[in-house]
Structure 1
């Protein structure tokens, strides 16, 4: 799925990160969402590698990256810890400054990466999210029903872990097939990789911890930022058939958190890079 790319495991101070890298040109870090892996990018990474040195990584807790033990405050799965992994990965690969694009959970990590390492992230693109703190703050009945997993996954361990672990394939297929496009965005090869990784009980637990951190320590970190905003250019893309479009004003919310924001809805659902790969690739090429 990634012709010409190398697969590497990079040790960070907190875990080990599995990634693929390929191409030449300015470095571009791609981060996936829940409950997927870096394979999310397989439809656009080869095209982007013609103009960029692409790094597609598994977040800690996901895919074939390490799954460190958690703590009572969920700090090992905070976006700060996940972002630190990626900063160290890019250093290990020799990239002092770089572009970042993240989808879903990976976009939340990307947001924190651009805040905590502002001198290194030159531009940031986020796919189908609004800022975490503001989404919780502005929760409505419609949002809670559509993103029920946000509130299920943050319940104390091991309740959601046991529920999901009883039939992880059915859970994954129901969760990811619930959007307007169903399961059609996913190729057989990608789907097999997602399910292989998600069947690991450690992945299920780590992904729950990701959400628990988002509802707790991540918001504390956001609050500690005060009025500080992202100072790099930010591109926001979301699906016009998805929950962000229906429940939030994405550009308005991002302007609460960033100084230089532009973006638009695209004619698809949540999984934009797999549903609309050519359109997403073109938007990223134009922006970066």
Structure 2
């Protein structure tokens, strides 16, 4: 299935820090790491990665806990799913592939990992693109009834084990379909083959691991953010977001200008899944952004 969705790409599996990370790699040129969001896998980039591969070496990876990457056990502090740990996985993956410095593009949960990577590894990340998020601390710090209703997973998935795991596990296919349709302005734009991959990978181990991802986001990740609140993202940063989704809830670009020194961005007319709903526009935006510094 992955080979069909990523023609010309090859699968790679690399052991880093005692776990195996799954990815696909294709193209030639300056390296770009692409990280997916919830509840998806690296497959979400299937309409964007081939276009980038015309100029770049593109690596689309599954985060730990997702897709065909390993799903290690967690602990009471959720440390194994801290974005700092998940970012380290991906830095080590790229080093194992021969890339010490690269651009990183992240969507949703992957964008949170990418943000942490840019903060923790400024000599490694040459450029950063984040799709359809504001920082987690902003989400929790600006809540009202409307926001709380729309970001209910930030409260549901963080409940103690294994309440959300059991509730989702009672009908995982329904929950997955509901999530994709809730967040997508044009559900018919989601490729059937891609959705089949998301469904294949949304098993009990993934459900458990992804809850831990959110639990970490509500605990240890916030601690890490608070401890380095005075640190700023130094590399050039591109922000893309959904005009009627995230853009209706947050003042996106000014929010990111509080985090990073060099930020540009644009709202797209689509739902949460920018790379699948507006792949041509996302590809064009990324190519232009990455071309400005192709020695990364």
Gaps of 5+ in 2: 291-296
* 2:198 is equivalent to residue 194 of structure 1: yes
Give the CA deviation at 1:140.
2.0
Q: What aligned pairs does 1:241-252 form with structure 2 within 5 A after superposition? A: 241-242=244-245, 244-252=246-254
Please name the residue that 1:233 is paired with.
Answer: 236
Please name the residue that 2:76 is paired with.
Answer: 72
* 2:9 is equivalent to residue 23 of structure 1: no
Give the CA deviation at 1:14.
4.0
**What is the TM-score normalised by the length of structure 2?**
0.95
> For the Cα contact (< 8 Å) 2:186–2:277, is it kept in 1?
no
Q: What aligned pairs does 1:137-152 form with structure 2 within 5 A after superposition? A: 137-152=141-156
Give the CA deviation at 1:201.
0.5
Q: Cα deviation per residue 1:115-165 (whole Å; 9 max; x = unaligned)?
A: 111101001000000011111111221111111111100000100000000
> For the Cα contact (< 8 Å) 1:7–1:18, is it kept in 2?
yes
Of the three residues 202, 207, 211, the one matched with 2:210 is: 207
> For the Cα contact (< 8 Å) 1:180–1:241, is it kept in 2?
no
> For the Cα contact (< 8 Å) 1:114–1:124, is it kept in 2?
yes
| Whole-angstrom distance in 1 between the partners of 2:91 and 2:255 | 26
Count of paired positions: 286
- Structure 1 residue matching 2:183: 3-state secondary structure: coil
* 2:127 is equivalent to residue 112 of structure 1: no
> For the Cα contact (< 8 Å) 2:32–2:58, is it kept in 1?
yes
Give the CA deviation at 1:183.
2.2
Distance 1:180 1:56, change over 3 A: closer
Q: What aligned pairs does 1:1-288 form with structure 2 within 5 A after superposition? A: 1-179=5-183, 181-198=185-202, 200-242=203-245, 244-288=246-290
Q: What RMSD over aligned residues (CA atoms) do the two structures have, in Å?
A: 0.9
> For the Cα contact (< 8 Å) 2:184–2:273, is it kept in 1?
no
| Whole-angstrom distance in 1 between the partners of 2:116 and 2:7 | 30
Give the CA deviation at 1:226.
2.8
Gaps of 5+ in 1: none
Q: Cα deviation per residue 1:172-230 (whole Å; 9 max; x = unaligned)?
A: 111110135252231110000000000x1010000000000000000000011131100
**What is the TM-score normalised by the length of structure 1?**
0.98
